[in-house]
Amino acid sequence: MSVATTTARMPRPASRSWRRFKRNSIPYLFLAPFLIGFVIFLVYPLIYSLNLSLYRTRLVGGTTYVGLENYGRALQDTNLWEGVRNVLLFGAVQIPVMLGFALIFALVLDSAILHRKTIFRLGNFLPFAVPSVVAALIWGYLYGESFGPIAQIAHALGLTPPQFLTSSGVIPALANISTWQYTGYNMLILFAALQSIPRELYEAAAVDGASGVQIALKIRIPLIAPAIILTGIFSIIGTLQLFNEPNVLTSIAPSVLNPHFTPNLYVYSLAFRSQQFDYSAAIAFTLAFVTGVLASVFFFITRQRGERQ
């Protein structure tokens, strides 16, 4: 009965809604390539890991559903928080230094002071093109205690060489690698932002008698504040996910860098060495939460300050 009525009434509304559907679906069709990739490579793994993190596999007794128990363990896990403390310590020094340099370089590059801009730009950006594993290997060599060039120069000058690969020296050593590597990248972002500032503003300021430094402080930096905040957020996220550099240096200084020196190293060693995929997933989510909180806090603080001005 219902079949008969549906077929009788179907044609008109169907064709109209089909046309509407066609019109509305076209944007999604264009989005599809991205969306499919996004779902397969990000959303699905996230759901998979989230599911994983709710179970617990024991050597004796097998797999059981434990709800949020893994998260409870993660919160009390000193290894995890020691790692978070390490990267925060690292970031508190490294991010301001790196962004400071990036800002200065970008301002210099954007001003008319410099000749041979391409060399300067390329030279600063080149370290970013070096894979971080290779970078860590290069620096591992430079830091070497008896054969490294830094130590050799210090010996030649009769000085005690700085101890990079020791428990107190390793965080500055890592910070140095990251600064070397990412300053050029951040410089490019800031430089691009500077380029979009209308030149008339500078001319007007110059007519009013502002010096170069004043223009930089009062016009250029405030105008690129959003870009600076962006690089800040990127850097915070990158810092909390520090992995490659300490991972490579581990083989060079195994007694200095432990397997949970950074949270990501810990996640990796839990999952792929100890087969604790479940707990590792819980830690990864906890870390993502911490990262999100920190990035948001940074964002709100900087935005509030910007609005006040």
Partner 1 sequence: MKKSLVFVTLIIALLLAACATPTPVPPAAPPTAVPAKPTAAPAQPTAAPAQPTKAPEQPTAAPAQPTAAPAQPTATATATPEPTKIPLAAGAVGIDFWSWVPGIQDQVNEWNATHPNIQVNYINKGNGNTEYAALNTALQANSDIPDVVQIEYQHLPSYITRGQLANLVDYGANDVKSQFVPWTWSQVSQGNGVYAYPQDAGPLVMFCNNAILDKNNIKVPTTWDEFTKAAADLHKADPNVYLANFTPDQGWYMGMLWQSGAKPFTVDGTNIKIDFTSPEVMRVAKLWDDLLKSGNLAPIDTYSNDWNTALGKGTIACWNSGAWGTFISGSAPDFKGKWKVYLMPGWKAGDKVNGNYGGSTIAVTKASAHAKEAAEFAKWLNTDPKPLVELTNPDKAGLFPVTQSTLSNKAWSDVPYDYWSGQAIHQVMAEAAQQVNPSFQWSPFTDFVYTTYADLLTQVKAGTLTLQDAMKQLQDKSVTYAKDQGFTVQ
Compute the least distance from the CB of residue 73 to partner 1, in Å. Answer: 9
Residue 79 lies near partner 1 (rule: CB under 8 A): yes
By the 8 A CB rule, do 143 and 165 touch?
yes
Binding partner 1 (rule: CB under 8 A), the pick from 6, 195, 214, 274 is 274
Q: Show contacts with partner 1 in window 87-126 (CB under 8 A).
A: none
Compute the least distance from the CB of residue 232 to partner 1, in Å. Answer: 31
Compute the least distance from the CB of residue 219 to partner 1, in Å. Answer: 42
Residue 249 lies near partner 1 (rule: CB under 8 A): no
Number of neighbouring beta carbons within 10 Å of residue 194: 20
Q: What is the chain's alpha carbon radius of gyration, rounded to the nearest angstrom?
A: 27
Q: For residues 14 and 35, which CB has a smaller minimum distance to partner 1 in the complex?
A: 35
Compute the least distance from the CB of residue 169 to partner 1, in Å. Answer: 11
By the 8 A CB rule, do 267 and 70 touch?
no
Q: Binders of partner 1: how many residues, by CB under 8 A?
A: 42
By the 8 A CB rule, do 260 and 74 touch?
no
Query: How many angstroms separate the CA atoms of 205 and 214, rounded?
Result: 9
By the 8 A CB rule, do 220 and 194 touch?
yes
Binding partner 1 (rule: CB under 8 A), the pick from 71, 88, 111, 145 is 145
Cα distances (angstroms) measured from residue 78 to each of 72, 88, 144, 243, 279? 12, 15, 31, 19, 14
Query: How many angstroms separate the CA atoms of 279 and 131, rounded?
Result: 30
Residue 131 lies near partner 1 (rule: CB under 8 A): no
Binding partner 1 (rule: CB under 8 A), the pick from 6, 167, 195, 296 is 167
User: Closest Cα to residue 248, out of 136, 130, 129?
Assistant: 136
The contacts of residue 156 (CB under 8 Å, 6+ apart) are none
- Tokens 């060489």 label which residue? 161
- Tokens 């594993």 label which residue? 133
Q: For residues 273 and 305, which CB has a smaller minimum distance to partner 1 in the complex?
A: 273
Q: For residues 272 and 289, which CB has a smaller minimum distance to partner 1 in the complex?
A: 272
Q: Show contacts with partner 1 in window 6-35 (CB under 8 A).
A: 24-25, 28, 32, 35
Q: For residues 102 and 256, which CB has a smaller minimum distance to partner 1 in the complex?
A: 256
Binding partner 1 (rule: CB under 8 A), the pick from 5, 76, 146, 160 is 146
Compute the least distance from the CB of residue 100 to partner 1, in Å. Answer: 31
Structure tokens at 200: 């008339």
Binding partner 1 (rule: CB under 8 A), the pick from 1, 4, 8, 59 is 59
**Which range in 53-61, 188-196, 218-226, 295-303 contacts partner 1 by CB under 8 A?**
53-61
Rounded (5°) CA angle 293-295-300: 90
> For 161, which DSSP code?
P
Binding partner 1 (rule: CB under 8 A), the pick from 231, 244, 262, 269 is 269
Number of neighbouring beta carbons within 10 Å of residue 112: 7
Residue 211 lies near partner 1 (rule: CB under 8 A): no
Residues that bind partner 1 (CB under 8 A): 24-25, 28, 32, 35-36, 39-40, 43-45, 48, 58-61, 79, 141, 144-147, 166-168, 251-260, 269, 271-275, 277
